[in-house]
Structure 1
Amino acid sequence: MTTPDGSQRELALIADVGGTNARFALTDPVTPAPEIIEPRSLVNAKFASLQHAAEHYLAEVGAKPRSAAIAVASPVHGDEIRLTNRAWSFTRAELRQALNLDHLAVINDFGAVSWAVPALQPGEYVTLHGADDAPLRGPVTVMGPGTGLGVGLLVGDEKRSWEVIETEGGHVSFAPLGDEELMISRWLTARFGRASTERVLCGAGLSHIDAVLGSNGNAPNDVALRDPADIVKAALEGHDVAARRALARFCAVLGSVCGDAALIHGARTVMIAGGMVPRFIPFLRSSAFRERFLAKGRFASYLESVTIRVITHANPGLLGAAVAAREALSEATS
């Protein structure tokens, strides 16, 4: 394929497929550093399947890759893959055949974000706590709210090769603190049968928090929910007290969950990603996030030394998929 710089290269397909959007790009898996070529974002609702979305993208950019690394928001064990927050499913074998690929790597979406972390450059993240120029220290907890709540783990250090451990940590049980969070937990349990952390820390979760707090826990199951983007916008503008209350509670819960994950992982660094948090970093700084992150009794001093950063790279999932494509090629040719 002729790339934007006019060269002919054998490119691989990369993708970051969430519950709402599917982001596609191409990458050259043999360049010195991972790169993202011809990125496009497609709305999942416009396509019947991942295959159709991928075919649409490849036709649009005129590419016929022979290998691909695709990150999906779901567990990726076994041949059959079912997205958690989108009614798409496929088997690795069928997708590889349909897209005429020789090699296909399927990874978890926050596994991809975890792969991206060592490849981030200064300016592609914001430090909430710790030194801006501090080296990346593992283990690294990688997590973030978007359509769902992704959690990954990166182990190793800059002197050794990094290793990604994919997890489904977003689906652990929600541990409420205080009357407001107990009210939220009860309402979510009544509505869904269980209150997981993801039910709180995602776009829909912010809408649920807004509805519960606005009704003092009496919102009916069929209540009309405000769009999470509208809640964030209203909270940042400063005139909507209910929106600010909902976003403040969201940030507080995020602090608790990040602190819990850091203790579970033995993390020295926490990287927050996802489509939501980069939109309100100043609000997060002024919220109870840090207080709740440290509120772990005897281990508060341990968490004081943990570096916390927010990833601001536009497409960390694609960057991680590009890294994964390089790893897959290396394994296939070794």
Structure 2
Amino acid sequence: MSTKSQPDNEGGCDLVADIGGTNARFALSRQEQGKRVLLEVQSLPGAAFDSLEAAVRHYLASVRAQPTRAAIAVACPADKDDIQFTNSAWSFNRRQLQRSLHLQQLEILNDFGAVARAVPQLAPSDVVTLHGTLSPLRGPVTVLGPGTGLGVAQLVGSSAQGWAVVETEGGHAGFAPIDEEDRRIAAWLSERVGRVSNERILCGNGLSQVHAALRGDADLTDPARIVAAALAGDPDSAKTLQRFCAILGSAAGDAVLLQGARTLVIAGGIVPRFVEFLRQSPFHARFLAKGRLAAYLADVAIHVVVHPSPGLLGAALALPDRTIDLP
């Protein structure tokens, strides 16, 4: 007997999900012509549901599907049976969820681990290159990005030998201020949250906190408004976004050095909104500002993912292809 991969039929689609601190993204996935495709993509507000299971059931009812396999990427450590989200009140037990949803197979993976898994599969149109070249993809690869939190993962291997994903919680590494403005932001946050990690700054709420700290105003502005105002030329908002990009550069440079990376890939829900602003910002100068290691970092390729759903694609890739027996 031998096996051969076959595209899923209509009833053979898998459920894939990318669950962040704010949004729950879902899709059905199947294999077509050797590639994973996403169907019926939906993004639901997490706050509208009491639990992950409730959100899953709502989605499946809306697309009238009953999959037997699922892969769910979660914005938290994913190595235990009991899963507690870092930036959400949701929690679940993977075995109970599998039984409740009548799944034969359930894969749980870290959300940025899923994004990292998708990176080698991305087309040139799915990324914007800030420095260096995309092909061939040189490893190790640091994958990070701000969203509701700050995700960090790593790819090791090569295109020829295959890639392995290392899931991390690197976004929670401590923030290292560089200049007086950084120290002012750190002090502002320390008064409110105690320990200041990179994630406290490099996320949506962190952008609002930076804006407030620089203005000396306790009121927090919606981060989407800050970005829109910065791109429209508002000086205060532009100053905030410039500082955000500078701190992102410092944190990214540290992550690359810690992981020995030769490529940096920036993903997440925030940076793709202002790629050209990032290109003109102090991001790269701060990325390189590592003293004697500046030349090492100057050779690191840097790309921004603009694919709309890399976490869903990475989750889909965590499921093996369906097979049929042939005589």
State TM-score, norm by structure 2: 0.94
Structure with more of its chain in strand, by fraction: 2
What per-residue deviation string (whole Å, max 9, x for no partner) do you get for residues 85-142 of structure 1? 11000000111011110110000000000001011011000000013x5311110000
How much does 1:30 deviate? 7.5
User: Structure 2: where are the runs of 5+ without partners?
Assistant: 1-6
Matches within 5 A, 1:246-257: 246-257=240-251
Aligned residue in 2 for 1:141: 142
How much does 1:298 deviate? 0.8
Aligned residue in 2 for 1:228: 223
* Residues 253 and 289 in structure 1, CA contact (< 8 A), matched pair in contact too: yes
Q: Percent same amino acid at aligned positions? A: 55
Aligned residue in 1 for 2:3: none
Is the alpha carbon distance of 1:309 and 1:62 closer, same or farther for their aligned partners in structure 2, counting shifts above 3 Å? same
Separation (CA, whole Å) in 2 of partners of 1:16 and 1:97:
20
Select which of 44, 51, 54 maps to 1:52.
Answer: 54
SS class of match (1:232): helix
How much does 1:61 deviate? 0.4
Separation (CA, whole Å) in 1 of partners of 2:31 and 2:77:
25
What per-residue deviation string (whole Å, max 9, x for no partner) do you get for residues 194-236 of structure 1? 1000000000000000000001xxx4xxx32000000000000
Separation (CA, whole Å) in 1 of partners of 2:107 and 2:32:
16
Aligned residue in 2 for 1:310: 304
Aligned residue in 2 for 1:32: 34
Separation (CA, whole Å) in 2 of partners of 1:8 and 1:70:
21
How much does 1:190 deviate? 1.1
Which amino acid in 2 is paired with 1:292? Answer: R
Select which of 264, 279, 289 maps to 1:285.
Answer: 279
How much does 1:169 deviate? 0.3
How much does 1:326 deviate? 2.7
SS class of match (1:94): helix
Separation (CA, whole Å) in 1 of partners of 2:244 and 2:123:
28
* Residues 14 and 325 in structure 1, CA contact (< 8 A), matched pair in contact too: no
How much does 1:77 deviate? 1.7
Separation (CA, whole Å) in 2 of partners of 1:67 and 1:180:
49
What per-residue deviation string (whole Å, max 9, x for no partner) do you get for residues 43-87 of structure 1? 101000000000000010011000100000001121000011110
2:153 equivalent to 1:152: yes
2:82 equivalent to 1:80: yes
Separation (CA, whole Å) in 1 of partners of 2:309 and 2:90:
22
Matches within 5 A, 1:152-171: 152-171=153-172
How much does 1:37 deviate? 1.1
2:295 equivalent to 1:294: no
SS class of match (2:79): coil
Is the alpha carbon distance of 1:6 and 1:154 closer, same or farther for their aligned partners in structure 2, counting shifts above 3 Å? closer
* Residues 29 and 322 in structure 1, CA contact (< 8 A), matched pair in contact too: no
SS class of match (2:50): coil
Separation (CA, whole Å) in 2 of partners of 1:119 and 1:185:
38
2:270 equivalent to 1:276: yes
Separation (CA, whole Å) in 1 of partners of 2:320 and 2:294:
39
Separation (CA, whole Å) in 2 of partners of 1:257 and 1:29:
37
Count how many residue pairs are aligned between Structure 1 and Structure 2: 317
Separation (CA, whole Å) in 1 of partners of 2:31 and 2:113:
18
Aligned residue in 1 for 2:25: 23
SS class of match (1:226): coil
Separation (CA, whole Å) in 2 of partners of 1:160 and 1:282:
34
Separation (CA, whole Å) in 1 of partners of 2:10 and 2:203:
41
Select which of 13, 23, 42 maps to 2:44.
Answer: 42
Answer with 21-30 or 46-55: which moved more: 21-30
Aligned residue in 2 for 1:93: 95
* Residues 26 and 312 in structure 2, CA contact (< 8 A), matched pair in contact too: yes
State TM-score, norm by structure 1: 0.92
Separation (CA, whole Å) in 1 of partners of 2:31 and 2:108:
16
Separation (CA, whole Å) in 1 of partners of 2:171 and 2:226:
22
SS class of match (2:125): coil
Aligned-residue RMSD, C-alpha: 1.6
Matches within 5 A, 1:176-255: 176-215=177-216, 219=217, 223-238=218-233, 240-255=234-249
SS class of match (1:35): strand
Which amino acid in 2 is paired with 1:181? Answer: D
* Residues 189 and 196 in structure 2, CA contact (< 8 A), matched pair in contact too: yes
Is the alpha carbon distance of 1:163 and 1:123 closer, same or farther for their aligned partners in structure 2, counting shifts above 3 Å? same
Separation (CA, whole Å) in 2 of partners of 1:134 and 1:316:
18
* Residues 29 and 326 in structure 1, CA contact (< 8 A), matched pair in contact too: no
User: Structure 1: where are the runs of 5+ without partners?
Assistant: none
Aligned residue in 1 for 2:128: 126
Q: Which runs of 4+ in 1 moved over 6 A?
A: none
